[in-house]
Structure 1
Amino acid sequence: MNEILEVVIEEQKGRLDKVLTAEFSQFSRSQIQNWVKNNHVLVNGEAAPANYKVKHADVIRIERPEIVELELIAQDIPLDVVYEDQDLMVINKPQGMVVHPSKSHPDGTLVNALLFRNHDLSGINDVIRPGIVHRIDKDTSGLLMVAKNDETHRALQEQLMDKTVVRKYTALVHGEIAHETGTIDAPIGRSHSNRLVNTVRQEGKKAVTHFTVLERYQGFTLVECQLETGRTHQIRVHMKYIDHPIAGDPTYGPSGTLKGNGQFLHAGVLGFTHPRTSEELMFEAPLPAIFEETLNGLLKK
C-alpha cells in the first residue's frame, strides 16, 4: 500500500517542490521532485509540475509509492575507486555496469559492489540506492559520486540542483560538426510513442547541454559535453536532436556503425565542493580502452 501524506497550505509560498521539501524534511528534494514527476503528488486532486506556485488553502497530497523489496547482496565486484574519505567516494564506473538493482538487474550492480566494500552508505534514497547521489546509464562509463552519510548526500544533491557540480563528458558523435562550440537549450520529456525513451518536447523540462569540438574524423566528431542540467539521457537526446547522435547508441543512434558495447559516451570530468572541508575537488578519468582503440582506427580530417 502507498503511504499517504497530506498538507493544507496556510502561509507557505513558493514552488511546490521547495515547499514540500521544507514541510517534509525527512525526504530529499530530489525524492520529492521524482514523486512530482511521476504524478504521485496531487494539488487539489490534480497533478501539478514541480514549479507550481502554491497558494493559500491548497490541499497537497503525496501518495508515496511503495518500495519494491529487493534482496541486496554484497558482491565482490572490482571497483575503480578514484577517491575516498570518511564522507564520500568517487567511482569510475565501467561501461556495462548498472548503477543500482532493479527487477531486470537484481545484482551485479554498482550498489552490490559498494555494499561488499563499505557498509557505511547514506540512506537518503530508497533501500535499493544506498549512497547513490546521481547515476549514469549502464553503457556510459565514467565518474560518479557516492555518499557515505545522509549529510553528505543532501549537500551533494543541493550542489547538483544549484548547478555547481562540474560534469563533462566525452562523446563520439555521427557527422562532422562544422562549428567549434555550441549550446543545446531544448526541453526534454518522455516520448508519447515510447515511454522508455526521452525526446525534445515543448512541454518537457528545461535541459541545457554545452559542447566543444575536440577532434574531427571522417564521418564522426569527438566532442566534450558539459551538462548544465541533468535530465535522463540528456546528452544522448540532445545530440540526436541536432542530427549528430552518439556513435554506438542503441536507442538514439543508428546501429552497427562502429564495433563496441554501447554508446561512446564517457563521464570523464567531475568536480564539486567537499561538503565537510569546503575543498574544491576535481577528478578526471581516462577514456576506456575500447573508446581509445576506436578513435585510433578513425581517419582524422
Structure 2
Amino acid sequence: MLSYQHSYHAGNHADLLKHIILGDVVAGMFNKEKPMFMLDAFASRGIYALDSEQALKNREFESGIGKLWELRNHASPQGVARWFKLIAAENPEGGFNRFPGSTALLHHMAREGDRLTACDLHPQEFDKLRGSFQANRRFSLLKRDAFEALKALLPPKEKRGLIFLDPSYEVKEEYRSIAKAVIEAHRRFATGVYVIWYPLLPAQRHLDLFRALKSSGMRKILRIELDCGDCFPEMQMYGSGMLIVNPPWHAEKPMQDSLDWICEHLTAGRGTKQYGWLVPE
C-alpha cells in the first residue's frame, strides 16, 4: 500500500524476528558456493533513523532492538550475533539509531557473485532507498510493484534464488494476494526459497494465507512464529511469523536456535513460539 511507511514501526519485535530469521535462511543457502539471486520485493527505504519524528511517535523500537541491544556482547546464536554485528556496523559511533532493514541485511550478506534486486513503489520510500544504496550491475533498485516484479524477474538466470515478501497487510485481501503470487511464482520457479513474513493481529487474517498455501499443492512450507503474549499491550500486533517455502536444511537448526533465544530474551517467558511444518515434504 502506498500509504504505508515502515519508519513508524522500524526496529520493533517483528523486525527483530524477521531480520534474524531471514539472515539464517540466507546463510543456510550460502552453504552452496553457486551464485544466487535475491529479491526484496517490498524493500521500503532500507535503512531507518530511529531518532526520527516518525520512529519516535510510537517508539515501537522499544519492543525490539531497544529491549535487546544491551545483550549484544553476550553469547547468542549465530543469527542473533550476525544481526547485532550488522547494526553495530551501521552505527560506528555507537547505539542503534541507524537501523538496517531487510535490504541492508541482504546487501551486507551478498557474496561477490550474487545478485540482489530491491523493489518499492512508494515514491518517498524509493527515494530514501536510492539515497541509501549505490546500485550497480549486481544490485538493482527498482521503483516497481512487487507483484509485477515477481512475474518479470522469476525464474532468475542463476537458477538459485531467495524471494523475500513482507507487505504491510493494511488491506485484508493482501493475505490472499500474497498467497496467490507465491503460488504462481512457485509454478515458474519451483526450486526458489520463498520467505513470507506475516503479523499476528486480533483479526487472525494470517489464517487466510495459511489456508491458501495449504490448499495449493505446494510442499515443504516451514512455519516459524513468535507470540509475545501481553508483553507489549500498547501495540495491536502481538507477534509475527515467517513462512519459508523450500527452507535450506542447513538453516533449520540456526533458525530454531534464534527463535528460542528471541522468545526467551524478548518475552521473558511470557511468550510462546511455534516451529514446525505448515505443509511437510
TM-score by length of 2: 0.29
User: Per residue, is there more strand in 1 or in 2?
Assistant: 1
Q: Which has the larger radius of gyration?
A: 1
How does the TM-score come out when normalised to structure 1? 0.28
Greater share of helix: 2
